Structure 1
């Protein structure tokens, strides 16, 4: 059956704030870069009074149909169902012990509050929590243009909301903690930079099990390597690119079909590379080529089905000149040059998993698209 889901939130409002203060001083021969920052938000989510899946007919990707528009509810007739407040204060110091060794130490305190409401305005659940999140990094410069580092971070993060169809649908889960370890190196060649990092991230994973209750039952462990390059190779060629090898796995699943399987919708290798060629004989003329690549992605938690890998090529040019004393830039781009038919994204039906068997949402990649634009700075 083909349905139109009306279970989603119909309005989100977010009010955010951010402030930072930086200072630099010395104690004897030791240099300090001190920073104090705060950021936070108020987030209200509204749900229609009338909701639920509407059956419109029967169709499939191989046999699509056009249906008449169903009688959708009034999405403006809604009530506030979730309120979330979060505010963090961070204090840190980068301590330069000498020309080769430095230490970064930072700590933040977060206050997180969430309330869930029914359609009569009554409070049905929520929590109020606070906690400290430390971060520490040791940096060593074996050479003038090379910096190596090792970092550990433990952070308190906002919990997820239970998706529609679960026993506790709409409930905001309590905050959880994640742990990250990272080892990396940075190479600064002036106009060109290279970065490499090896990392491991472990965090609780919200999941709807056989009891149909959405809760922090599982563990997600991500292991990966990141490589990035950016800058000018010479006056004509500029490169911006990166690649990531990641092994995201679920653990403590309680089922041999899903234990140790890959996270739904994530490629194990992704790459993006943008190359620009500045034509030396024509001032202001630049040609660009951008390649995006990703390997296959599982569409269920048991990893029994996958969407294939993809490679998308985008080509373009821009021409910038002064006309009548005003900067003018003409751009011409062709996206998805080969008109590849591919799945741009595969995600769980909810932010953090949906049910024991898995439920994926697929987004088709855009077809070949041609765009021309003219920009004038007045």
Structure 2
């Protein structure tokens, strides 16, 4: 096939996203197909510039497909959240950015999950809502990087099963943080901020050309503060990201990057419940020990090479190494004793995680025709090796009593002694394929297939025993996209997925015979643009069933049970529009019903059925609303409302956390086009709410009270 015929076929395949109405939307459309091949380059937006608006339905989102499709071309629900919009709204953490902008995504973060965990479509945790960094999956359940949004170019959220793309562990969805990377356009920015509880923020970033073939990117950010809790509420973190791009020709690009993160978060594991709530008198007290400590270190090195020898063939290889170091020393449990009026502390845990992850992914993209129909195919293979060592003082014993109104922190109790506990070596191999076949000018078929073969070798370093578990998994998806008009898509998709037994890197001998959890989803939806691209909308309905799932036992770290099945069904909608000049409204809502379908557990010698109960940490209502109004030259006001429905903390649904609604506001003043002074108020109504489960079933993690920050951002 000639280059000209290939280009014609590709032009037909992408024509659905190239229309005058889309061009006026302000969203980046896929590049026109010609003799030159566009590599996987990122667009870096200078911090301080007006943020991109809308749902970005015409912006390619690689998290949902390696074919470079836009959300309009993808038979799935995809959010593309620009990094500059996140920073403009005052969302300094990735967790805040996803929960306050993504559709149907709720945060379930706690120190035990590295302050980064989500619930999506009725499923929760790192096993079911996968996290990626620059398209590379994070295997550890307590992975903490990335955490800062300063170096974020965009965040992509794929809702629904994604095992066909990334392997086991994505029944609920995927959150992919795409960092800023080098470009040949100069961009430099800096930021400084101060706020309540002695919060301080400083950041700087720069990127641009070094020569005609070499470009760089460097971003550094640091945050610190005393925190709103006393004592042990102080926190600090540092993130450093650097990258070099070598592009000797239009068809070859090599990027070497290194990302480092160091975090010492507040040492807070929850506030004890008194008659089912936390009294305001105890709201600001942190009942951890005086010598508590939490420390996380992460380092990513990534080498990416992209080569397109011809318009109908391109290759991409990504090699990476990640190291992680975790340290915890805390009293994680607390309970109020009505008879004495004292707080009993428990779960005195000292834990260290050492992890190294090395991997490589190679894929090739083929463009051409199948039976005369335009076709694009990705074929690839992936290998990973993860070494994980867990040092602990299990069983986590020890208790003491403290007076909540005359609190003395006391010292850590270590009964068992801290020694190496276990070590796991995980080898993973995968083959994958994707295809988009353009059946007509209005109809396309998107399919995918992936085979995974993980193998775990575990050793109990205390008992001197070992085990080996080998698994196999096959995932696939098929979806149709019909576009009656270029700016409207109707779609239907069937997808399968698998979740690991707990987390492969921390698999215990008691779980070695567990079966992989299998999931399947049916989804239908519609999305589009109107008002000549000034408004975008999405609507989706789905049903997911997951069998053989492993569920953690609250208050028993490292313990899991494999239950029969769990299901969810729901609807999601999002709308972004500019109803009047200088106004912008972004809204989304998700309503779902999730339940255990088959779940029996032996409690005190009796078999108890939890069938029909709401799963732990799963809200059945999630909604976000953002309204921005540029009421005068250089001035813009912003209001954000976040609503999260009630959740439960136990299988029996007796420990229920009430719903909450947060109100966040902001006021921006731009002295000149290159700078922005922002005043931000968080939790304006000072609502006392449960942000997550505590370290045990008798406590909850409270969210941040009312606070204020003043931030100045400049581009130069």
TM interval, shorter chain, is 0.7 to 0.9
Contact 2:596–2:612 (CA under 8 A) maintained in structure 1:
yes
Q: Is 2:688 the partner of 1:346?
A: no
Matches of 1:292 and 1:122, distance apart in 2:
50
Name the residue aligned to 1:336: 683
Name the residue aligned to 1:177: 518
Name the residue aligned to 2:455: 113
Matches of 2:417 and 2:667, distance apart in 1:
43
Q: Is 2:472 the partner of 1:130?
A: yes
Per mean C-alpha deviation after superposition, the further-off stretch among 338-347 and 112-121 is 112-121
Matches of 2:608 and 2:421, distance apart in 1:
42
Name the residue aligned to 2:633: 282
Q: Is 2:705 the partner of 1:367?
A: yes
Name the residue aligned to 2:395: 52
Matches of 2:695 and 2:402, distance apart in 1:
22
Distance 1:297 1:71, change over 3 A: closer
Q: Is 2:649 the partner of 1:308?
A: no
Alignment deviations for residues 210-267 of structure 1 (CA, whole Å, 9 cap, x no partner): xx98442321111111112235445412233321112111122235651211102221
Alignment deviations for residues 79-114 of structure 1 (CA, whole Å, 9 cap, x no partner): 652333334332111111112221111111222122
Contact 1:316–1:333 (CA under 8 A) maintained in structure 2:
yes
Name the residue aligned to 1:199: 542
Alignment deviations for residues 305-362 of structure 1 (CA, whole Å, 9 cap, x no partner): 3121110000012334547xxx32322211101111000123897xxxxxxxxx5763
Name the residue aligned to 2:333: none
How far the C-alpha of 1:370 sits from its partner, in A, is 1.0
Distance 1:13 1:91, change over 3 A: same
Distance 1:16 1:63, change over 3 A: farther
Contact 1:168–1:213 (CA under 8 A) maintained in structure 2:
no
Name the residue aligned to 1:150: 492
Alignment deviations for residues 51-87 of structure 1 (CA, whole Å, 9 cap, x no partner): 3324341359x77843312245999964652333334
Matches of 1:232 and 1:172, distance apart in 2:
55
Indicate the RMSD between aligned Cα atoms, in angstroms.
3.6
Distance 1:375 1:73, change over 3 A: farther
Contact 2:367–2:375 (CA under 8 A) maintained in structure 1:
yes
SS at match of 1:58: strand
How far the C-alpha of 1:270 sits from its partner, in A, is 0.9
The TM-score, its normalising length taken from structure 2, stands at 0.45
* Structure 2 residue runs without a partner (length 5+): 1-343, 601-606
Distance 1:373 1:199, change over 3 A: same
Name the residue aligned to 1:353: none
How far the C-alpha of 1:374 sits from its partner, in A, is 1.7
Matches of 2:687 and 2:715, distance apart in 1:
35
Matches of 2:518 and 2:699, distance apart in 1:
27
Structure with the higher strand share, 1 or 2: 1
Contact 1:265–1:348 (CA under 8 A) maintained in structure 2:
no
Matches of 1:124 and 1:329, distance apart in 2:
58
Structure with the higher helix share, 1 or 2: 2
Per mean C-alpha deviation after superposition, the further-off stretch among 215-224 and 15-24 is 15-24
The TM-score, its normalising length taken from structure 1, stands at 0.81
Query: Which of 623, 631, 642 is 1:271 aligned to?
Result: 623
How far the C-alpha of 1:27 sits from its partner, in A, is 4.6
Distance 1:49 1:348, change over 3 A: closer
Larger relative CO (CA 8 A, sep 6+): 1 or 2? 2
Per mean C-alpha deviation after superposition, the further-off stretch among 134-143 and 83-92 is 83-92
SS at match of 2:639: strand
Instruction: Say how many residue pairs are matched.
Output: 360
Matches of 1:17 and 1:369, distance apart in 2:
44
How far the C-alpha of 1:177 sits from its partner, in A, is 1.9
Q: Is 2:380 the partner of 1:30?
A: no
